[in-house]
Structure 1
Amino acid sequence: MPLDPARILAAEPRSTRISWAEKDVQLYHLGIGAGPDDLRYTLESRLHVLPAFATVAGGGAPGVIRALSVPGVDVDLARVLHAGQSLTVHRPLPTRATATAVSEVTAVHDKGNAALLVLRTEVSDTDGPLWTEEAQTYVRGEGGWGGARGPSARPTLPAGPPWRTVTRAVRADQALLYRLSGDLNPLHADPEFAARAGFDRPVLHGLCTYGMALKAVVDTLLGGEVGRVRSYRARFTGVVYPGETLSLDLWPPEGDPDAVPGSGESGAPGAVRLVARAVGREETPVLDGTVRFG
């Protein structure tokens, strides 16, 4: 079997030194749709770091791909999908830094017709912890060994109309620009590879959608105050194609309007549930997540 769960879970954590500077941050922001009106994201003299930058910091492969290099994993990249991503920010991300990232697979779930690997990464610099992230890698056709299935409950969509809806256009070349931050998976650029993976054309990176959605929430609710984001968890429930338009519905968690920053006292802590859809294909959400603020 290409996956050896016992060997995967026994693998030693991997420690890597990563570095980034202002140009890396700016390129990432451009890759998730920042433009001329977003100088806090694009101009070095005003630069703030959207926390989702953590998913590409250092310029290497994202967690969903790094999990494939763990001993005990030998799978076809065309069978791999990014199932989910979580991020907890311990303090605002600096515009330039050198840090240490320690990663290990903490779970291997048997989904029957697929396997799900959870890669946890802790990142710190000389001043202490910066962020913690978890990437969930879904490998089609690699389940069925009799292992634990793991969590499988899917959250229900909120009832009633959203508190607010915002739209964001995805450029036709968005994936080509975003991949320059480090995710060179050919699924997002090569039509032949995309066809082998079961798609009629290259799809947008899930983490690009992830970053675009967080930016929309921060800009809509917090006036761009990126330092207020505490955590962001999302499931990737569908694909986005370059050239489409994202529609993001925002709800207070569990229908509590006081939980939404901006609806009550300015600067108050809270959270927001977000569900993203591709305009014209609204029947299936593409991302379902929760952002928490301090």
Structure 2
Amino acid sequence: MPINPDIAIGADLGSRTFTWSSSDVLLYHLGVGAGSRPGDNLDPKALRYTLDDENLQVLPSFGIVAPSFHETDPPALDLPGCDINLAQVVHGAQEITVHGPLPASGEATLRTVISDVWDKGKAAVIWQEGVATAPDGTELWTVRSSIFVKGEGGWGGNRGDATPVLIPERKPDADTTYDVTPQQAMLYRLCGDRNPLHSDPAFAQAAGFPAPILHGLCSYGIVLRTVVDDLLGGDAAQVRSFSARFAGVVFPGETIRVQAWDEPSGIVVSATIASSREERDGAPVLADCVLTRA
């Protein structure tokens, strides 16, 4: 069968050593919409994302893209025990836990393993987990992610044990929107993800979409930045972890509505499409979305 969990689970995907600079951080922040509101070019809080001075901070989600930031080829899918192709794959879920504020420049080594494979019947979910360490051995961040592989599954394996995050039954503590620009995916692809699903109309149509879609990790970064700005005073160092499941697609030009509830267990977040089109209004973007404080 195309996916053999006996081979895949626990497979060591090796390590990669990488560096990043403040220019990479600035480009990433612009890719997730920092500095896009009127007046952001004069706002000290907004400039903490977009000006490379002593106040520059790093949004924790940058750690997810830092290892592959300078790659120009589409992401490889050379996973032991997994015979799949890029057109079958969408990003399933993502989590990052940081062990302190990320430096604006540095070097790290990321070691990754396949941690689990779930059988969803008509699809498979493949989980990876990686730890990034500094040259002196200090752990900087941990990432967990899954990919959803359409057309696989059905071998009778573990269906997974994900627990849904419940939205509180009260008014949100923050409720705002972000207008995704028409060129947002083209800008974000410069952050190391050249998957043609986000840029090539013909490829997107072959994958079952009417047009290229926004990178899931771009939506993830937009939502994280919005919650940091609205509930954490714009201080990214207050973030310990951020996790979410990718529940739907975003097309460039659409608007993302972000609602957040500050709960004792963490900040619960809802991200949906705010649209004048009935069939898209309220469509989910992220689900099971939680931010925990440092």
TM-score (norm 1): 0.89
Deviation of residue 113 (structure 1)?
Answer: 0.7
What's 2:17 paired with?
A: 17
- Native 8 Å contact 2:10 2:113 kept in 1: no
What's 2:285 paired with?
A: 286
- Native 8 Å contact 1:188 1:203 kept in 2: yes
Letter in 2 for 1:39: L
Question: Which of 189, 193, 200 is residue 190 of structure 1 equivalent to?
Answer: 200
Deviations 1:141-160 (A, max 9, x none): 11011111112543343323
1:54 aligns with 2:63: yes
Deviations 1:1-28 (A, max 9, x none): 2212112125234111011001100000
What's 1:124 paired with?
A: 133
What's 1:275 paired with?
A: 270
What's 1:41 paired with?
A: 49
Larger deviation, residues 17-26 vs 34-43? 34-43
CA gap of 1:252–1:17, structure 2 versus 1, over 3 A, is same
Provide the C-alpha distance between the structure 2 equivalents of 1:156 and 1:222, rounded to a whole number of angstroms.
Answer: 21
Letter in 2 for 1:205: H
Deviation of residue 283 (structure 1)?
Answer: 3.1
- Native 8 Å contact 1:86 1:232 kept in 2: yes
What's 1:263 paired with?
A: none
Which structure 2 residue ranges, 5 or more long, are not aligned?
36-40
- Native 8 Å contact 1:60 1:183 kept in 2: no
Provide the C-alpha distance between the structure 2 equivalents of 1:80 and 1:13, rounded to a whole number of angstroms.
Answer: 18
What's 1:266 paired with?
A: none
Provide the C-alpha distance between the structure 2 equivalents of 1:219 and 1:160, rounded to a whole number of angstroms.
Answer: 21
Residues 1-294 of structure 1 aligned to structure 2 (within 5 Å): 1-35=1-35, 36=41, 37=43, 38-45=46-53, 46-58=55-67, 59=69, 65=75, 68-127=77-136, 128-253=138-263, 259=264, 271-280=266-275, 281-288=280-287, 289-294=289-294
Deviation of residue 76 (structure 1)?
Answer: 2.1
SS at match of 2:253: coil
- Native 8 Å contact 2:75 2:194 kept in 1: no
Deviation >4 Å, runs of 4+: none
Larger deviation, residues 112-121 vs 35-44? 35-44
SS at match of 1:78: helix
Letter in 2 for 1:28: Y
CA gap of 1:236–1:276, structure 2 versus 1, over 3 A, is same
TM-score (norm 2): 0.89
Give aligned pairs, total.
276
Aligned-residue CA RMSD (Å): 1.7
Provide the C-alpha distance between the structure 2 equivalents of 1:221 and 1:100, rounded to a whole number of angstroms.
Answer: 32
Larger deviation, residues 156-165 vs 111-120? 156-165
Which structure 1 residue ranges, 5 or more long, are not aligned?
254-258, 260-269
- Native 8 Å contact 2:174 2:231 kept in 1: no
Provide the C-alpha distance between the structure 2 equivalents of 1:153 and 1:91, rounded to a whole number of angstroms.
Answer: 27
